[in-house]
Structure 1
């Protein structure tokens, strides 16, 4: 085996995040800056911090309500010092937990012992039996994951996504009047405005964001199989359902009253499906923008000193949108797997969810990275109105729809000689380009009423956009 410059210890240190050059995944290396805000919510360290938080709050909750005989509320100072175990959670805490877990071979049990070590110093060492009281590890894990996911979505992912959609909406408003040739099935079609097409995307994405913002983050704390059996066996006179509900809701979560050992994760599956749908709509936007760039509708503003192509100096590659496409596909694939996996569990419990949930940060990270790239890509675009105008002027045949509809309306009004309007326009336009002179010559020879003829003669592809500009107002 070859000798390496770094020792195994140095390599391991870098892999833990103490460096970025030797990471296994790109989110912890090349793209770390873009996704770093998620680390505080969805990393392994954040999960352990949240576990400590849940255990500490459960202990305080039980004492505040004097659920167990012989317990009484802690003093304000004791509660404060207990909560400081959470707020002071740092790298040394992570290392200590790892040392404990190496002995317990159980991550949640390690958290219990971690907290227990600190109670004597707070003057409540007699309450060590109350740490993790009545809990199975899933009671702590489901609440910890819910807190981490809620924070990641509401404080990081959603604000970034909403900012991006706001930028798309701003583009829609600024180009609401800019006429653009549509393409249906890749062929020239009835014109629209660039702003209206951007508004469609912003509207679609906003609907998904509103669904995501309305997510209920569920939690439970009801024991080994969801029956409160150990709770009632130890303290039969307590209102354990009420204690559980007020605790879960006190954490800012929604109480799930009916579960097996695990909280069923249905809310997670719903959330991930919504995020994946947002991803796919955004992916569609990226491919459209990429195509508009390729035909010159958008010009990319070069970044000073940046290289577009390693060999072709003239190029400015649309890399932000291409990078986003790839990351959206990876994110959606992971989210699909999570959505399908997390809603199933054999009988009252299996551990498939344990491994699955450790990838939530990866799934959201790739989506967040894509959102960042699209935002940066949009910021470097200029609308090439001259190209848009030239494309419209080169496709007068798209007015065939308008001409044949006017012919139909005139025929209904009793104007003679306007039979088979669709067939006549098909003969004129299909498979050939029609210029302004030919279209106007055709309209003039139809025998339309004077008002209808003048209306058609004044029509241009750029003016045939209906109420496209007004539709942008639906964005609010």
Structure 2
């Protein structure tokens, strides 16, 4: 039975996606290893290190199906030898003609294969994150446009403050997601770099053919050639994890705000609910914000994994298995949780229910929606600090006596008129700027990440 929630038939949909499970499953992982070895053999044949016929036979391994029997044979060999890839090497040798078997995995090390395969994994994960984030950004931009002038309460310290618009709030979300996309775009060329380093990084096995072979190898995989081997330099993977963590945390901010504004006593937002959803088996009236809760939960896990991956930047000498073996566990887990969070966030923001009537009712109910603007107007007559003191006292008196603030303060007719107006400042203009800049960025960055 599946021991991890990611693979659980009951709960797996909350911690992973069908795409993430296919991408990160054992057959796909072995497939990436074989892809790396096929590229290596092709590059070695290209520079004259191995026969062309051997490279062609090794390339043919990519067409094999890595089913349960093959995986179990690899696993048995790994357990028998206590070596990370020797079980796979033996299975691959057995699948090749004798004249090609000696050339598979020629001169390579575990890290050459697993580091490069992990970069291919990151590329695949990054493409899915990019796709989902573009969709999330588009939905948030549309919310900002639709609700550019929809007034609502702005809240500080958890309490009602001055008016904003819901479009302003949605635009802050969209703008942050836009920066997440920027960071993914900016990091792409740093992260998608192949590894072919040999035993200690200097490629001593290959002599003068080393660097031409390395260039041909990474080129066949669509990756960049590193200026120097990165066996013990793990900042690329750590940075990728940090960017993913900040991205999922940005989604958690949207989810957390939805969670808070969906409270019955506020009731301004509601997340979409699929048919058949049950909020509570003991309280039938409940409509729980399950998606919002889960996105926040996933973000916590991604942040914790990112922190541990940062620890892998410190290793010893030219090779330290404590670094990259940590990555073997955490990069896939982080990817599962991040892709689950983006998939849920797509559903959340595309189906978000906005109660504009409740927003207006909450704005006018407290009697303090105009206080910031009123302070500005009264400051012209009294000066800012005297006006602030006078208004604070007037609101205190109004609350204690249960009267209107206009009855607790001597206002001019012009000043009193401000109590009946809703001022949202430059909210609309800021929304317009976010929409314009996002349109430019989306055109410049394009649909595909890599």
> Shorter-chain-normalised TM-score: which range?
0.7 to 0.9
Distance, in Å, in 1 between the alignment partners of 2:213 and 2:274 is 58
SS at 2:162 equivalent: strand
1:111/1:56 Cα in 2 relative to 1: closer, same or farther (>3 Å)?
A: farther
Structure 1 unaligned blocks of 5 or more:
1-21, 233-237, 413-417, 448-452
Q: Which residue of 2 aligns with 1:24?
A: 3
Distance, in Å, in 2 between the alignment partners of 1:118 and 1:28 is 30
Q: Which residue of 2 aligns with 1:428?
A: 394
Q: What are the superposed Cα offsets for residues 414-454 of structure 1, whole Å, 9 maximum, x if unpaired?
A: xxxx982222222222475599x94567898348xxxxx28
Q: Which residue of 2 aligns with 1:348?
A: 318
1:217/1:278 Cα in 2 relative to 1: closer, same or farther (>3 Å)?
A: same
Q: Which residue of 1 aligns with 2:109?
A: 136
Q: Once structures 1 and 2 are overlaid, which stretch shifts more, 319-328 or 210-219?
A: 210-219
1:60/1:292 Cα in 2 relative to 1: closer, same or farther (>3 Å)?
A: same
1:288-303 map, 5 Å? 288-294=257-263, 295-299=266-270, 303=274
> Could you tell me the TM-score, scaled by structure 2's length?
0.85
1:99-248 map, 5 Å? 99-120=76-97, 125-154=98-127, 156-215=128-187, 216-232=191-207, 238-248=208-218
**Bigger radius of gyration among the two:** 1
1:87/1:157 Cα in 2 relative to 1: closer, same or farther (>3 Å)?
A: farther
- 2:242 is aligned, of 262, 273, 277, to 273
1:363/1:396 Cα in 2 relative to 1: closer, same or farther (>3 Å)?
A: same
- 1:46 is aligned, of 28, 32, 36, to 28
Q: What are the superposed Cα offsets for residues 184-221 of structure 1, whole Å, 9 maximum, x if unpaired?
A: 11222111001110110121122112212332322221
Aligned residues of 2:150 and 2:167 also touching (Cα < 8 A): yes
Greater relative contact order: 1 or 2 (C-alpha under 8 angstroms, separation 6 or more)?
Answer: 2
Does residue 285 of structure 1 match 2:265? no
Aligned residues of 1:228 and 1:240 also touching (Cα < 8 A): yes
Distance, in Å, in 2 between the alignment partners of 1:139 and 1:444 is 79
Aligned residues of 1:53 and 1:86 also touching (Cα < 8 A): yes
Deviation at 1:245, TM superposition (A): 2.6
- 2:339 is aligned, of 365, 368, 371, to 368
Deviation at 1:277, TM superposition (A): 1.1
Distance, in Å, in 1 between the alignment partners of 2:85 and 2:66 is 17
SS at 2:424 equivalent: coil
1:301/1:117 Cα in 2 relative to 1: closer, same or farther (>3 Å)?
A: closer
Backbone CA RMSD of aligned residues: 2.9
Deviation at 1:74, TM superposition (A): 4.3
Distance, in Å, in 2 between the alignment partners of 1:151 and 1:300 is 29
Does residue 471 of structure 1 match 2:430? yes
Q: Which residue of 2 aligns with 1:61?
A: 43
Q: What are the superposed Cα offsets for residues 334-367 of structure 1, whole Å, 9 maximum, x if unpaired?
A: 22212x2321212222211214322322122122
> Could you tell me the TM-score, scaled by structure 1's length?
0.80
SS at 2:161 equivalent: strand
1:182/1:433 Cα in 2 relative to 1: closer, same or farther (>3 Å)?
A: farther
Deviation at 1:98, TM superposition (A): 2.6
SS at 1:183 equivalent: strand
Deviation at 1:127, TM superposition (A): 3.9
Q: How many residues align?
A: 424
1:364/1:300 Cα in 2 relative to 1: closer, same or farther (>3 Å)?
A: closer
1:87/1:171 Cα in 2 relative to 1: closer, same or farther (>3 Å)?
A: farther
1:431/1:379 Cα in 2 relative to 1: closer, same or farther (>3 Å)?
A: farther
Aligned residues of 2:397 and 2:408 also touching (Cα < 8 A): no
Deviation at 1:65, TM superposition (A): 2.4
